[in-house]
Amino acid sequence: MGERKGVNKYYPPDFDPAKHVSLNKYRNSHPLRERARKLSQGILIIRFEMPYNIWCDGCKNHIGMGVRYNAEKKKVGNYYTTPIYRFRMKCHLCVNYIEMQTDPANCDYVIVSGAQRKEERWDMQDNEQILTTEHEEKKKLETDAMYRLEHGTVDQSKLQRAIPTLSNIQEAQSAWKDDFAINSMLRRKFREEKKILQEEEEKDLALQTKANLSIPLVQETEEDRRLAALLKYHSLDSYEDKQKLKRTEISGRSWFPPAQAAAGKATNTLKKLGLAGKALPPKALTGGSHIAIGHLGIVRRKSREGPESLRSAGESMEHGARTGGQSCDSAARGTPQQSSPMADSDILLAEGTASTSCSVSLSSSLVADYSNSSSDSEVD
């Protein structure tokens, strides 16, 4: 410590080694600095270590053996030529001060004030520990031959009883006798485990990179492998088969719209005219001859004439509708005198087409005005 403090020190210009001898004398300071601030009172501050477990009288807390304190050390007496020192320190848990002093007679420490010793004493004979031979017994063994013989016999009987236990202890210690071999074996085991862990970490990192995962992976177990072997995930068709099936479906599809699209033209026409809520009855869509005035979307306007003229106009409208339906039917079927050599199926197909076109023409009629006319030809 002194050599370390004496290295690389700054010596002022007026420092004279012959006069000042050292820097401490030049500065009029003690080498222990703050620890020697009460040296004039015979007190030196040192680091004191608690020699045994105690209970603090101030806070009633337990202070374990080995706890260190800054204690004030001073000499309070002598035991023959051995000085007795007293140590005064403050508890780190409260404001209580603890005082202890040395006991050279019993090679121990004694608590003077501020604490109580935690008693952990036992009888060495009851604890089967080796007892130290007392001075009187040692003197008797040296002078009395019969006592020495009896004492040796008792010791031999104790040895015979302790031989099995000692053999077990020696056998257990022999396995740990060669420290180098045990250390080498332990380090070899650690290297193998570290290599395995590194390989598993690389596999997990590769799997996380491939699957774009950011969650940590756990280690596989035998139960996980058995459960994974029981599960089978497979697709019925591959991607190529699905694409081939889709192309076949597209190539086999008809270029023309289905038959239901012709029947839906009337509905589309009504939607364009804003009459989607007033749909035609099934008979009108299938080419029926009876069509009411309300189904054609005709709006009656008020006339200057009375209700009689309105009634006659409605009747003429119904008569014209019937006549128009019959004309459509006759146009589709043809006159009875002009027969066609077509087959029955072709005739039915022509009738269906004519009826559909006739119904579409009737449903797409505009609003009629009956205010100034009542003739059937004008309505048509």
Between 95 and 254, the higher pLDDT residue: 95
- Residues 6 or more apart whose Cβ sits within 8 Å of residue 331: 354, 358
359 within 8 A of 285, measured Cβ to Cβ: yes
272 in a domain, yes or no? no
47 in a domain, yes or no? yes
Among 221, 246, 274, give the residue marking a domain's end: 221
102 in a domain, yes or no? yes
Q: Are residues 149 and 216 in the same domain?
A: no
Q: Are residues 110 and 157 in the same domain?
A: no
76 in a domain, yes or no? yes
Q: What is the pTM of this model?
A: 0.34
The rounded distance, in Å, linking the Cα atoms of 85 and 71 is 11
Q: Are residues 107 and 45 in the same domain?
A: yes
Q: Are residues 72 and 32 in the same domain?
A: yes
247 in a domain, yes or no? no
What stretches of the chain show up as alpha helix (H) in DSSP? 2-5, 17-20, 23-27, 135-143, 145-174, 179-211, 222-230, 239-251, 260-273, 282-285, 307-333, 344-363, 376-379
208 within 8 A of 214, measured Cβ to Cβ: yes
Highest mean pLDDT among 79-83, 285-289, 354-358, 367-371: 79-83
Between 34 and 270, the higher pLDDT residue: 34
Mean pLDDT for all residues in the chain: 75
User: Residue 345 pLDDT > 80, yes or no?
Assistant: no
354 in a domain, yes or no? no
Taking only the tens place, the pLDDT of each residue in 147-192 is: 888 888 888 888 899 899 999 998 888 877 888 888 999 999 999 9
Distances (CA, A) of 67 to 31, 63, 98: 26, 7, 13
Taking only the tens place, the pLDDT of each residue in 48-84 is: 999 999 999 999 999 999 999 999 999 999 999 999 9
Question: Containing domain of residue 35, as a range?
Answer: 17-117
Q: Are residues 111 and 79 in the same domain?
A: yes
Give residue 258's pLDDT band: very low, low, confident or very high (50, 70, 90): low
Q: Are residues 189 and 109 in the same domain?
A: no
Q: Are residues 24 and 89 in the same domain?
A: yes
Give residue 351's pLDDT band: very low, low, confident or very high (50, 70, 90): very low
Q: Are residues 90 and 61 in the same domain?
A: yes
Q: Are residues 24 and 111 in the same domain?
A: yes
What would the two tokens of residue 186 be?
């332990």
Taking only the tens place, the pLDDT of each residue in 90-145 is: 999 999 999 999 999 989 999 999 999 998 777 777 777 777 777 888 888 888 88
What is the number of structural domains in the chain? 3
Q: Are residues 173 and 189 in the same domain?
A: no
Taking only the tens place, the pLDDT of each residue in 293-320 is: 555 555 555 555 454 544 554 555 555 5
107 in a domain, yes or no? yes
Q: Are residues 67 and 88 in the same domain?
A: yes
30 in a domain, yes or no? yes
